[in-house]
């Protein structure tokens, strides 16, 4: 979206070019000619060790949630089957026993649904936390990386309609991110 705005502003600037031939923006300041680079986010997600570690942690958490919920669901289904069997064989000694058993079964179902909601909420919070950490690490790295490179814009290729291959800095960024992450992990291991 920002690229479209910049492109639109550049077109308007060309049509209203001042006498000194310097492009002008809305506020009268000149626009830079812009040194632009881009990264391919899919490649970062697939090759950045931190992103892969986050994905692994989230997959393990998801598997644990599924295992927990599946076990609880099987227990509930077995209890419901036992209840039905006992009801059909007139196994309840009284209406009170029937009502208590039915209420306990309903509570077990409600508890399972509450557990499902809680676990899924926690999982979504973990996803948001890891996505924020991933974005923060990429943003921080690019800020440091760009001190030497001096790009005016570093975009994601996914948001660009056309980009020259020569502007692709994805490999450099992934290498730098992995180097920084490896150093951070090593430091964390040393502190243990």
Cβ atoms 16, 24 nearer than 8 A: yes
CA distance 94 to 99: 9
From 180, 162, 159, select the one nearest 1 (Cα to Cα): 159
Residue range 10-23: average pLDDT? 37
Q: Which residues contact 125 (CB under 8 A, 6 or more apart)?
A: none
- Kindly state the average pLDDT of the residues 157-172: 89
Sorted by where each begins, the domain ranges of the chain are 1-33, 34-191
E strand or H helix that includes residue 180 = helix 170-191
Would you state the pLDDT for residue 11? 32
The Cα-based distances of 150 to 37, 69, 95, 142, 145 in angstroms read 10, 51, 80, 11, 9
Q: Give the range among 12-16, 69-73, 122-126 with minimum mean pLDDT.
A: 12-16
d(CA 128, CA 125): 5
pLDDT, one tens digit per residue, over 90-147 is 999 999 999 999 999 999 999 999 999 999 999 999 999 999 999 999 999 999 999 9
């Amino acid at each position: 979206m920002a690229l479209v705005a910049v492109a639109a502003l550049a077109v308007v600037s060309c049509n209203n070019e001042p006498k000194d031939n310097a492009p002008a923006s809305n506020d009268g300041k000149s626009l830079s000619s812009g040194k632009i680079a881009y990264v391919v986010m899919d490649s970062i997600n697939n090759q950045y060790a931190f992103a892969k570690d986050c994905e692994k942690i989230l997959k393990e958490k998801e598997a644990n949630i599924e295992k927990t919920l599946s076990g609880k669901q099987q227990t509930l289904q077995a209890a419901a089957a036992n209840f039905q069997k006992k009801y059909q064989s007139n196994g309840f000694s009284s209406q009170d026993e029937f009502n208590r058993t039915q209420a306990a079964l309903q509570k077990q179902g409600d508890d399972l649904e509450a557990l499902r909601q809680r676990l899924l909420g926690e999982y979504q919070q973990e996803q948001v936390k890891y996505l924020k950490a991933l974005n923060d690490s990429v943003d921080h790295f690019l800020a440091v990386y760009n001190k030497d490179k001096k790009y005016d814009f570093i975009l994601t290729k996914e948001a660009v309609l056309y980009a020259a291959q020569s502007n692709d800095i994805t490999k450099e960024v992934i290498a730098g991110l992995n180097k920084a992450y490896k150093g951070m992990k090593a430091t964390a291991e040393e502190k243990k």
